[in-house]
Amino acid sequence: MMKGNLIEKTTAWERFNHWVLAVSFLILFFTGLGFLYQSLNWINTIFGGNHLASAIHKWTGLVFTLSLILTLGSYFGEAIRFTSEDSKWISSLGGYFSKEMEPPPQGKLNAGQKLFYLIVVVLFGATSAFSGFIIWLFPDSRGLILFAHFLHNISYVVFAFAVPLHIYLGTAANPGTFRVMTRGTVTAAWAKKHHGRWAKDMGIE
Ligand code: HEM
C-alpha cells in the first residue's frame, strides 16, 4: 500500500510480532549464555539467580515458540516461492562481495532473507523449541534429554551467528531498513534499490 511517497512493507501486526520475537529471543539468548558457560553465569544474577532465570527462560521459550508459529502467516508463503531471481541472487552472493556481480531486482524478500527465514527461523526455531520442551517436560528420560541438549546447543550456536548478522543487515549495513520494523514503511528509493521487482509490482517506476 502506498502512503504518499512511502510504501508499506509490514503491517502493524507483523511489526508487533517481530518485536515479541526479538525481545523474547534476546532474553533466551542471554539467559542461555548464562547457563552455557560457568564463567558467564553472573548474567543470570541479573535475572534473579539461576532458579528464576531458568523459569524465565522456559516461559519466554513458550512466547518465542508462539511468535515463531505466527511468523508463518507473514513470511512462509513468500519464502517458499523460489524464482530464477533467487538463484541469481545466490550465485552473485547478493552482490555483497563484488561490484560486478549485481543481483537482479528482488521481490518483497530477497533470497538471503528467504534462506534466513526458512533455515534459521523455521528449521532451527523448530529444533530449539522442540528440544527445549523435551528438556522442560521430560527431565527423567536420560537418553532423550542428552539428545535434546545436543539439538538445543546446536540451534543456539546457529542463532548466535545468524541473528547478530540479521540485526547488522537490518540496521547499520542498510540505512533505511530499520524503519520496516518501526514505522512499517520504506521510501520509494529504498524499495527500488533493495527490492526492485517488488517496487515495480507496487507501481513504482
Ligand atoms: C533487535 C533485534 C532485531 C532487529 C533490529 C531486526 C531487524 C529487522 C528488520 C529491519 C527487518 C526488515 C528487513 C526488510 O524488510 O528488508 C527484519 C525482518 C525479519 N526479522 Fe528481524 N530483527 C531483529 C531480531 C530478529 C529475530 C530474533 C528474529 C528471529 C529469530 C528475526 C526474524 C526476522 C524475519 C524472519 C524477518 C523477515 C525476513 C527478513 O527480512 O530477513 N528478527 N528484522
Task: Give me the mean pLDDT over the 17-43 stretch.
Answer: 96
CA-based nearest residue to 18, from 190, 180, 171: 180
Residue 16 binned pLDDT confidence (cut-offs 50, 70, 90): very high
The pLDDT value given to residue 103: 87
Residue 102 binned pLDDT confidence (cut-offs 50, 70, 90): confident
CA 64 to ligand 1: nearest atom: 30
> Domain-by-domain residue ranges, the chain?
2-26+58-201
Dihedral of CA 73/109/22/7: which sign?
negative
Q: What is the pLDDT of residues 103-146, one digit of tens each?
A: 899 999 999 999 999 999 999 999 999 999 999 999 998 899 99
Return the best residue to mutate from 30, 122, 166, 182 for the ligand 1 pocket (most ligand atoms within 8 A of CB).
166
Cα–Cα distance, 44 to 187 (Å, whole number): 41
Helix or strand run (H / E) with residue 8:
strand 6-8
Edge-to-edge strands, sheet with 6-8 = 2-3, 6-8, 185-187
The pLDDT value given to residue 23: 98
CA-based nearest residue to 8, from 197, 190, 205: 190
List the CATH code of the domain at 2-26+58-201.
1.20.950.20
- The answer to whether the beta carbons of residues 170 and 80 sit under 8 Å apart is no
The pLDDT value given to residue 97: 80
CA of 12 to the centre of ligand 1 (A): 14
Q: What is the pLDDT of residues 48-83, one digit of tens each?
A: 999 999 999 999 999 999 999 999 999 999 999 999
Whether residue 196 is predicted with pLDDT greater than 90 in this model: the reply is yes
Residues having CB closer than 6 A to ligand 1 are: 9, 18, 21-22, 25, 71, 75, 109, 113, 116-117, 121, 163, 166-167, 170-171, 177-178, 180-181
The pLDDT value given to residue 153: 97
Residue 35 binned pLDDT confidence (cut-offs 50, 70, 90): very high
Buried-state track 77-94, b at ≥16 Cβ within 10 A, e below 16? eebeeeeebbebbbebeb
Cell numbers placing 78: 513468500
pTM: 0.94
Residue 94 binned pLDDT confidence (cut-offs 50, 70, 90): confident
